Amino acid sequence: MLTENQTKRTAKGRSCFPLSACIPNPSSFRSFRSRRKGQAMTEVVLLFPLFLLIVFITAKIFALLVLVQKLEIASYYAARRWQLDSHLNADQANWDETILKKDIEKNMRGYIGFDNPAVSKFLNLKELKIEVVRTQVWNVITMTVITNPTGIKMLCKYPKQAVCAYPYGAACLRGYDYMCIERGDHQNIGGNRLEVIKYVPNRDRPIQFVLPGLK
């Protein structure tokens, strides 16, 4: 015979009399934990490629920032070195263009990372150019670094016109060229072109400096 309180609990839901009736079976806990473990593993497997993609893109952006800083420092060195060691005398012009310019380019290549295979691959380095234009007052020194495309295939699946459609503009096009090589475009080698221009005044050094009393 059920009491009045037991009858009310039975009407609302399952009766907890006796008390063991409300305690779940331990096997149900094990089944729940196994389902949660399987679900977590599935989420990790699905999100892991996305995580790797984010890490790779972040690394390439960081590499581009490092390259910009290296190029800025190297360009200052090249401009200062040319200002101090170049000559106004026409007899020394050949020495400036051959020995001095090649030595500056060699030091710049070593500092930026062209001579280190690991650094060159990380920064996607391809080519370095130095051009010097003499004027009556200024020497215009232009340093250019050309990089290889990063080649992230997942981001290069769609053509440039579809990725960089309105409202995106020239910045998107340059970013696409840095990342990808567009299919069917054999003339566009991809990569990026970084250019720094320095203006340094002519140094009045027509002849080699010799200390007084020395020969």
CA distance 139 to 145: 20
Cα 85 to Cα 97, 142, 195, 211: the distances in Å are: 11, 17, 23, 17
pTM: 0.65
DSSP state string for 12-69: HSS---SGGGGSPPHHHHHHHHHHHHHHHHHHHHHHHHHHHHHHHHHHHHHHHHHHHH
pLDDT score at 131: 93
CA distance 127 to 108: 12
User: In what helix (H) or strand (E) does residue 161 lie, and over which residues does it extend?
Assistant: helix 160-163
Each residue's pLDDT tens digit, 72-126: 999 999 999 998 888 877 788 888 888 999 999 999 999 999 999 999 988 889 9
Each residue's pLDDT tens digit, 6-38: 444 444 455 555 555 555 555 554 554 555 555
